[in-house]
A and B are shown apart, each in its own frame.
Chain A
Amino acid sequence: MSILINKDSRVVVQGFTGREGTFHAPQMIEYGTNVVAGVTPGKGGQTHLDRPVFNTVAGAIKNEGANVSVIFVPAAFGADAILEAASAGIEVIVCITEGIPTLDMVDVWNFLKTTDSRLIGPNCPGVISPGEAKVGIMPARIHTKGKIGVVSRSGTLTYEAVNQITGLGMGQSTAVGIGGDPIIGSNFIDILELFNRDPETEAVVLIGEIGGSAEEQAAVYIKEHVDKPVVSFISGQTAPPGRRMGHAGAIISGGKGTAAEKMRVLKENGIYVVENPSDIGITVKKALEEN
């Protein structure tokens, strides 16, 4: 088992024929992901990477039964691409695109609440269920099938954590990058809920960063609802206030959103907190042994 995506997912790539889509889609296909179609407006009827191209997401659903989409379009068209996928009835939308304006995401986020679609991202590495499907841009070979769920606001730091987990002989059920923007489709709690329900996930790694209060809310949720051990790391313990650390969402403002505060609340709620990022794997092992 896994969450969000598996070998039965029928994936449509939005921005299929563009540079990013053309670079990443073949790697998804090579991994065994069932990529059934692509969408590029104006290029409907063509074939790209041996897959049919459609003008609209609705066309890809009607003809190929797509139920998962991954978005690689430029930032200016990101919101529109998400709205199109949700309006057409895609179940899981994974938006890789970085740089979508926050106010565009305000509209998207509030519209999504009126639909059954689930959005992962934007500005994220995507989702991988090792051995089943990869819908995103992460390096597949560091992943291995297993029982650890990973949820993270960051990209390469997730790879670092996954690499440590794999290196210690454990694997992942699913690794989810939820994205580094202020407004994202799914937060920690949404994904924790799925991992908690997934019979194959035995422990969860939560990788947060400075900014906002998503980690604090997750901590309270974990205490009340999650019966599996959770190991967390918060990046940005040394970040100065008022400076945006790469991600639009990673900023300490008005004394709020500091790593220290997040780590305190996580600890207080019975969650393993790792201070040294190279200890994530070992701590997962310890958590499994103790529980």
Chain B
Amino acid sequence: MKIHEYQAKQLFKQYNVPVPEGSAADSKDEAFGIAEKLGYPCVIKAQVHAGGRGKAGGVKLAKNSSEAKEYAAAITGMTLVSPQTGPEGKRVRKVLVEQGLAIAKELYLAIIVDREAGMPVIMASTEGGMEIEEVAAKSPDLIYKVHIHPSTNLSGFHTRYLAFNLGLNKAQQKHFTKLVQNLYRLFLEKDAALVEINPLIITETDEVIALDGKINFDDNGLFRHPDIAQMRDIHEEEPLEVEASKYDLNYIKLDGNIGCMVNGAGLAMATMDIIKYYGGEPANFLDVGGGTSEERVKEAFKILLADPNTKAVFVNIFGGIVRTDLVAKGIVDAIKGMEVKVPIVIRLVGTNEEEGRRIIEDSGMNFITETHLPDAAQKAVTMAREV
């Protein structure tokens, strides 16, 4: 789960990770009020989950009242379009207003779990403010990493290694060490998947401050952090994805026109792949899960048909735990009373497949059933073209 920068900074504050003074606002007037209180220069930052805000005009430095008024009005409510938002952009519903700080040095700091090493890794770099992927490609030697084994936990030598390599002076080292310790504690205690500060700045008075903040959480850990779970901003998500998540359906909207309903994440991805292989474009990723029920199949179907881009639906179910006859019932029930204008190709294989197919065929509805994966996929691709 992703959260906003202002929420990440609230957590930083809770963990004594220094951040610039400031607060979030919902309207341009509120934003201007905060700016007046903070004094100038101050920074107004659009709060959307996508990156690339600066270049998209979503971050501005105001040197005085009139600039603050102008930028607050421009950013609050704007539709921010960056490479990460897609062409339709994202509406800015909140802005963060912060004091402007005099920067002596910009660093990069992040914590993630290194899956190959099986433990968290802290990464720091002198090249703050740049895209870290760019730094990794151009000058990987400037990224310093320490892996934290659960039995050593974060120890003095870890932070010394980073601080010396970053070339920090004694006062800066002291502040940096404390910040890393607190940030690592936050990472562990809140089941984070990524904590990133870019840039982490050093001021002219040797203070170390998180000028930006990004935290992603491990969805599997959310059950033990109700405080984090409630930071979810559904405005940042696709409405259909929000709807799907209510029914524990794993749905991701894509740009194509063939709606897919599959059980299992791997098979769902493979189904998208085979559609593309035959020249089609999947409208979505949808995993109805292993222990799926009639009810969930029904909801899944409604979501697929609610996407206006859908020109054909491809149901690909390999019944292991899932009984295909129950899936068939769910589909027939879902369609009843709905006006369905798109062709539906159904492939049911596995547990009770004969019964499943019989239910589909006896429904009197206009389904196309196929047993072989390539035939089914090709049919879906062809039908999506014809509609």
Interface residues of A (CB under 8 A from B): 75-76, 98-103, 105-107, 109-110, 125, 137-139, 142, 152-160, 163, 180, 182-183, 207, 209-210, 212-214, 217, 233, 235-240, 242-250, 254-255, 259, 275-278
B373 touches A (CB below 8 Å): yes
B116 touches A (CB below 8 Å): yes
Q: Do the beta carbons of A183 and B269 come within 8 Å of each other?
A: no
Interface 9-mer from B19-27, B71-79, B314-322: B314-322
- Chain B residue with minimal CB distance to A158? B266
Q: How far is the CA of A244 from the CA of B269 in the complex (A)?
A: 11
Contacts of B140 in A (CB 8 A): none
Contacts of A102 in B (CB 8 A): 113, 191, 193, 218, 220-221
Which of A139, A180, A242, A276 contacts B265 (CB under 8 A)? A180
Contacts of B372 in A (CB 8 A): 278
Which of A99, A153, A207, A245 contacts B285 (CB under 8 A)? A245
Q: Chain B CB within 10 Å — which of A110, A142, A155 has the most?
A: A155
Which of A99, A125, A159, A207 contacts B350 (CB under 8 A)? A159
10 extra A-B contacts, CB within 8 A, seeds A156-B320, A235-B269, A248-B218 = A98-B290, A102-B113, A139-B351, A157-B267, A160-B270, A207-B266, A217-B116, A236-B272, A248-B220, A275-B273
Q: Do the beta carbons of B318 and A249 come within 8 Å of each other?
A: no
Question: 30 A-B Cβ contacts within 8 A?
Answer: A102-B191, A103-B113, A103-B188, A105-B118, A106-B113, A106-B119, A137-B320, A139-B319, A154-B265, A155-B265, A155-B320, A157-B264, A157-B269, A158-B266, A180-B266, A183-B115, A209-B269, A212-B116, A213-B116, A237-B269, A237-B272, A244-B219, A245-B285, A246-B264, A246-B265, A246-B268, A254-B136, A276-B277, A277-B270, A278-B377
Contact with A along B170-206 (1 / 0, CB 8 A): 0000000000000000001001010000000000000
Q: Do the beta carbons of B321 and A137 come within 8 Å of each other?
A: yes
A126 to chain B: closest CB distance in Å? 11
Q: Chain B CB within 10 Å — which of A182, A213, A243, A250 has the most?
A: A182
Q: Do the beta carbons of A156 and B267 come within 8 Å of each other?
A: yes
Q: How far is the CA of A180 from the CA of B319 in the complex (A)?
A: 19
Which of B150, B220, B267, B351 contacts A100 (CB under 8 A)? B220
Q: Do the beta carbons of A142 and B274 come within 8 Å of each other?
A: no
Q: Do the beta carbons of A209 and B266 come within 8 Å of each other?
A: yes
Q: Do the beta carbons of B218 and A160 come within 8 Å of each other?
A: no
Interface residues of B (CB under 8 A from A): 84, 113, 115-116, 118-120, 132-133, 136, 149-151, 188, 191, 193, 218-221, 223-224, 250, 252, 254, 262-277, 282, 285, 287, 290, 318-321, 349-351, 372-374, 377
A166 to chain B: closest CB distance in Å? 12
Q: How far is the CA of A236 from the CA of B118 in the complex (A)?
A: 23
Q: How far is the CA of A246 from the CA of B276 in the complex (A)?
A: 19
Which of B136, B218, B267 contacts A103 (CB under 8 A)? B218
Contacts of B318 in A (CB 8 A): 156, 159-160, 163
Q: Do the beta carbons of B223 and A75 come within 8 Å of each other?
A: yes
Q: How far is the CA of A276 from the CA of B372 in the complex (A)?
A: 13
Which of B116, B120, B266 contacts A106 (CB under 8 A)? B120
Q: Chain A CB within 10 Å — which of B115, B191, B193, B263 has the most?
A: B115
Q: Do the beta carbons of B270 and A233 come within 8 Å of each other?
A: yes
Q: Do the beta carbons of B273 and A138 come within 8 Å of each other?
A: no
Q: Do the beta carbons of A155 and B119 come within 8 Å of each other?
A: no
Q: Do the beta carbons of B266 and A235 come within 8 Å of each other?
A: yes
Q: Do the beta carbons of B250 and A246 come within 8 Å of each other?
A: yes
Q: How far is the CA of A209 from the CA of B372 in the complex (A)?
A: 22
- Chain B residue with minimal CB distance to A255? B133
Contacts of B319 in A (CB 8 A): 139
- Chain A residue with minimal CB distance to B116? A213
Q: How far is the CA of A18 from the CA of B216 in the complex (A)?
A: 33
Contacts of B277 in A (CB 8 A): 275-276
Contacts of B115 in A (CB 8 A): 182-183, 212, 249
Q: Tell me whether A157 and B270 are in contact in the complex, defined as CB-CB below 8 angstroms, given that A75-B223, A125-B320, A248-B220 are known contacts.
A: yes
Q: Do the beta carbons of B250 and A238 come within 8 Å of each other?
A: no
Pairs A-B, 10 closest by C-beta atoms: A154-B266, A246-B265, A156-B264, A157-B266, A101-B221, A235-B269, A156-B267, A139-B320, A277-B270, A109-B118
Which of B254, B351, B373 contacts A160 (CB under 8 A)? B373
Q: How far is the CA of A105 from the CA of B115 in the complex (A)?
A: 10
Contacts of B220 in A (CB 8 A): 75, 99-102, 248
Contacts of B118 in A (CB 8 A): 105-106, 109-110, 183
B223 to chain A: closest CB distance in Å? 7
Contacts of A255 in B (CB 8 A): 133
